[in-house]
Chains A and B, each alone.
Chain A
């Protein structure tokens, strides 16, 4: 904890690096917004809850995009939440359009911008036929790269453009036939057009970018790995390679490996439990068993001091109807 590097940083830099202030501000803001509700059960509890959820990664659910984008941890949490919630869609084998994925994203974040999804789709589709259907895993990994490293990627794009147009006097772009492209479709006019940039040169520039970049960027070692495999590559080829790289994925830590993408035993269990209650869904009265599943999960957190039923102001103080259900199911 008291590692020398940590103590070596001056205060503000340390705080900034860990984004502590973001969370503090957000916590205080949330407190302000819901002060009537929270004041009932104590501020200390609130802060505990809040930072617990930050640790667990559930704090970004249904929050506005500016918050989700604020810190790398938020972004990673969001990715993970998206994966967990919609893994079933992928498991079902449905291929969806970019717009539909965007819709799913919006379910979790109402004002998620379309551009990001579009960019992610472009990675998958190699900037071609934007209406094409994409599989869940393809999209998810591409989206991960795009979202988590979005600023980095912007800079990379700029560098790429520079290199392509030969602005850097050091560059000598030798037209060769394309090779080692991570393309999924035959490229257009391979022989005639200039294909991508030289990998080595590209890497040099990227390295210097990584050093001075204040936003997160992929571990340089992995970038080097990606770039060392090929002679030349295009921008999207590079991105696709990044998205498919296991090491980067693991370094991010948000999503499991591609092979395990569909596996989540805990959630599957939960799902089975929910499904078992579906026949009862026909009759809304018996829909309560679903709600009763809540208390079983939430009892560890919903202790007695939490009961918002003490709210006398709100008459529809179900807030969490589960508490009511608990009573009913217990009797």
Chain B
């Protein structure tokens, strides 16, 4: 028997509800013991009696129960909930309806003082029928099927609204809930934060496990201390610095990829607890330090306390970063200066060329406009150059001056401008010199380069690749000069400023003349066997003629000149160490034997050639004078001989005639002769 307090009165019920479904609670089959008890508390065990759900499913209009408490109605009606007055007095402000298999919110009758309402773990799809509970402070709809926030507009006192694990797609209809303190919307399908700006008393906002892609529109939440945004798709965070009270911010397991996206957090001085784990930025090597550096106020990071040690380390790292940045700035500045210098040199080069071109015979070559300046070394060589501890010379940073530039970059030595050739006079550490395999010449006349080639060979023995750009290579003959190097594997002659490249035969000539180097690449293209054969075919006879058909003394004089120069230079450079000298001599001998027939093909610069001619001129004059003397003598003798030839017959006849005349009268002759003899005595 159902106690009277549970009687359902359909008529009264009908007048109390707006629409329909009447709930009939029939517990007739229940034993007396199993009373239906309604208690509202979070820990309430589930309702042990027959579940209301069971009754709800019935079409009450057709149900005829034992008690005539059935209500029939043609419209679908909400279940109505009634509690006994005892219950009401016991816990007048709490009502727990969790796990009741409710699909709708029941009409709660006569509970206007209700303050806590628990609908956890049901199947409710819409928030309804609670508008009358205007004293409600705590509403828990966790784990339902609510799709939209609605029906809350009368709950002006609501402080805690738990809507976790529902199907809410949009935050809305919270306008009147100005006292809201805790809003829990975790586990929903919310894509944007909106319509919360009026919740100035809100302290905790839980939007974890939603579909948020960014965080903004957070203004107005002046009391917010905790914001939970875990497990979303957040890529950037904004406006957080507009939250003056925010202390804890959880951004774990989102999609934040760069610190820029959360840069507003740095201004958030109230933040003491933040979590970024599970984001891409947390994988970065200095994630912790960056965060700590930018947010000095932090006390917990990723739920771990931030120690002083970590903070210190973070600041150190940050300082290093700063330094690195400054360094790279300096580097780029240096690079700019270098570019400027190169452009300057290029301009000077052009001017020089123009001037030379316009000069008729160029008796005096105009030197580079500015006087030779001291090579100023850039301060603080960057990390590209190896540090050389203990080397007497400063590390070879890019040496800049207005007229020339010398740069060592790993294995490349670059020289710009004629003044740069002086750098070969400097003492280079063996380490630097040993690593240089490529030498680039730009804006330098080839004739000038030729003169320093022996030095180059000495100082940079490993240089295998030569590059020439804007070096006025105009004749094939100039390549002869390269033969004095130790070895060349690759040769690059840039067409710019090197007219020789426009010749059809230049590559073959190079291959021919420098065949003993067995070069591998010219201007980037591999040298094939065919190339070598062609080179030999084209110029082989030249070599043959140059070697075998030259008279011996010419051979000696030509080779002697070249070798003499080298030899003298070697002497100067190496000091007078005889052992070494002979080594070099034998080295040069060996080199010579490799390509004897080409060795006579030398290149001497125009100046040098003219100098020699000048020197010879005196000798020539002497020779001429001498020869003329000889000729005169010979001519004189010849004339005399001719004259003698001419005159001799006559003279002979006269001699004979005189003699005959004398002897015509023998006596007279005898007397005359005796007289002569007597006189002579």
Seen from chain A, the residues whose Cβ lies within 8 Å of a Cβ on chain B are: 11-12, 15, 21, 24-26, 28-30, 32-34, 37-38, 46, 49-50, 52-53, 56, 58-59, 61-62, 64, 81, 84-89, 92, 94-97, 99-100, 103-104, 106-107, 110-111, 267, 270-271, 274-275, 278-279, 281-285, 287-288, 290-291, 293-294, 297-298, 301-302, 306, 308, 314-316, 318-322, 324-325
7 tightest A-B CB contacts, nearest first: A321-B593, A28-B623, A274-B540, A85-B542, A291-B596, A29-B623, A11-B635
A92 to B541, CA, bound (A): 14
Contact B542 A53 (CB under 8 A): no
Q: Is the CB of B557 within 8 A of A99?
A: no
Query: Is B14's CB within 8 Å of the partner chain A?
Result: no
- Of the candidate stretches B231-239, B426-434, B548-556, B672-680, the one touching chain A is B548-556
Pairwise interchain contact B593-A325, C-beta atoms closer than 8 A: yes
Report yes or no: A111 in contact with B529, Cβ–Cβ below 8 A.
Answer: no
Q: Which of B546, B596, B634 contacts A321 (CB 8 A)?
A: B596
Contact A271 B537 (CB under 8 A): yes
Residues B592 and A110 in contact, CB atoms below 8 Å apart: no
Residues of B627-661 at the interface with A, using a CB-CB cut-off of 8 Å, are: 627-628, 630-631, 634-635, 638-639
**In the complex, which residues 519-565 of chain B have their Cβ closer than 8 Å to any Cβ of chain A?**
529, 532-534, 536-560, 563-564
Contacts of B503 in A (CB 8 A): 96-97, 99-100, 103
Q: Roughly how many angstroms separate A310 CA and B496 CA in the complex, as a whole number?
A: 49
CB of B516 within 8 Å of the partner chain:
yes
Q: Are A37 and B537 in contact (CB under 8 A)?
A: no
Decide if B516 touches A287 in the complex (CB within 8 Å): yes
Q: Kindly name the residue among B557, B582, B588, B603 whose own CB sees the greatest number of chain A CB atoms within 10 A.
A: B557
Chain B residues with Cβ below 8 Å from A315 are 567, 581-582, 585
Contact B539 A88 (CB under 8 A): yes
Shortest CB-to-CB span from A6 to chain B, Å, is: 13
CB–CB B542/A86 < 8 A:
yes
Partner of A318, one of B515, B545, B593, B631: B593
A291 touching B594 by the CB < 8 A rule? yes
Given contacts A37-B553, A61-B550, A301-B552, contact A314 B560 (CB under 8 A): yes
| Nearest opposing residue in chain B for A296, CB measure | B548
Are A314 and B554 touching (Cβ within 8 A)?
no
CB distance from A16 to the nearest CB of B (A): 10
Q: Which residues on the A side are within 8 Å of B533 (C-beta)? A: 275, 278
B564 with A314: CB separation less than 8 A: yes
Name the residue on A nearest B542 (C-beta).
A85
Pair A107/B518 contact, Cβ less than 8 Å: no
Q: Are A294 and B547 in contact (CB under 8 A)?
A: yes
The answer to whether B593 and A288 have CB atoms under 8 Å apart is yes
CB of A92 within 8 A of CB of B538, answer yes
Interface size (B, Cβ < 8 Å)?
79
**What are 12 A-B contacts defined by CB distance under 8 Å?**
A28-B623, A29-B619, A33-B557, A62-B546, A62-B550, A96-B503, A96-B504, A96-B505, A104-B476, A107-B477, A291-B594, A308-B556
Name the A residues within 8 Å of B553 (CB-CB). 30, 34, 37-38, 46, 49-50
A-B pair count, CB < 8 Å, reads 222
- In the complex the two chains form, is A21's CB within 8 Å of B627's CB? yes
Task: Establish whether residues B536 and A85, one from each chain, have CB atoms under 8 Å apart when the complex forms.
Answer: no
Inter-subunit contact A291/B593 (CB<8 Å): yes
What DSSP secondary structure best describes chain A's contact surface?
helix
Cβ contacts under 8 Å, B280 to chain A: none
Q: Does B620 contact A (CB under 8 A)?
A: yes
Complex Cα distance A172/B477, Å? Answer: 51
Residues of B within 8 Å of A111, CB to CB, are: 606, 609
Q: How far is the CA of A284 from the CA of B488 in the complex (A)?
A: 13
Inter-chain contacts of A53 with B (CB < 8 A): 550-551, 554
- Determine whether the beta carbon of A283 is less than 8 Å from that of B518: yes
Shortest CB-to-CB span from B498 to chain A, Å, is 13
Using a CB–CB cutoff of 8 Å, the interface residues on chain B facing chain A are 475-477, 499-500, 502-505, 515-518, 529, 532-534, 536-560, 563-564, 566-567, 581-582, 585, 588-589, 592-597, 600-601, 603-604, 606, 609, 613, 616, 619-620, 622-624, 626-628, 630-631, 634-635, 638-639
Question: Is A290 a contact of B595 with CB atoms below 8 Å?
Answer: yes
Q: Which one of B516, B546, B553, B559 has the highest number of Cβ atoms from chain A below 10 Å of its Cβ?
A: B553
Given A26-B623, A53-B550, A58-B545; 11 other pairs, CB 8 A cutoff? A21-B631, A37-B560, A59-B551, A88-B537, A88-B538, A100-B504, A271-B541, A278-B529, A278-B532, A281-B516, A320-B555
Given contacts A24-B630, A99-B499, A314-B560, contact A85 B551 (CB under 8 A): no
Q: Which of the residues B539, B552, B627 comes within 8 Å of A49, measured between beta carbons?
A: B552
Given contacts A81-B545, A271-B541, A287-B595, contact A103 B552 (CB under 8 A): no
* Residues of B close to A103: CB separation below 8 A: 475-477, 500, 503
By the criterion CB–CB under 8 Å, are A24 and B627 in contact? yes
| Shortest Cβ distance from residue A117 to the other chain B in the assembled complex, whole angstroms | 12
Which residue, of A24, A34, A284, has the highest number of chain B Cβ atoms within 10 A? A284
In angstroms, Cα B634 to Cα A322, docked, is 41
Please determine whether A320 and B476 come into contact, CB atoms closer than 8 angstroms. Answer: no
List chain B residues, Cβ under 8 A from A288: 593-594
Contact between chains at A278 and B518 (CB < 8 Å): no
Bound-complex Cα distance A302 to B638 (A): 37
Contact, CB under 8 Å: A321 / B589: yes
B544 in contact with A58 (CB, 8 Å) = no
CA–CA, A280 and B317, complex, Å: 61
How far is it, in angstroms, between the C-alpha of A191 and the C-alpha of B181 when the chains are bound? 110
Q: How many angstroms between the C-alpha atoms of A290 and B551 in the bound complex?
A: 19
**Contact A88-B541, Cβ < 8 Å, known A52-B551, A318-B592, A321-B596:** yes
CB pair B620–A110 under 8 Å, yes or no, is no
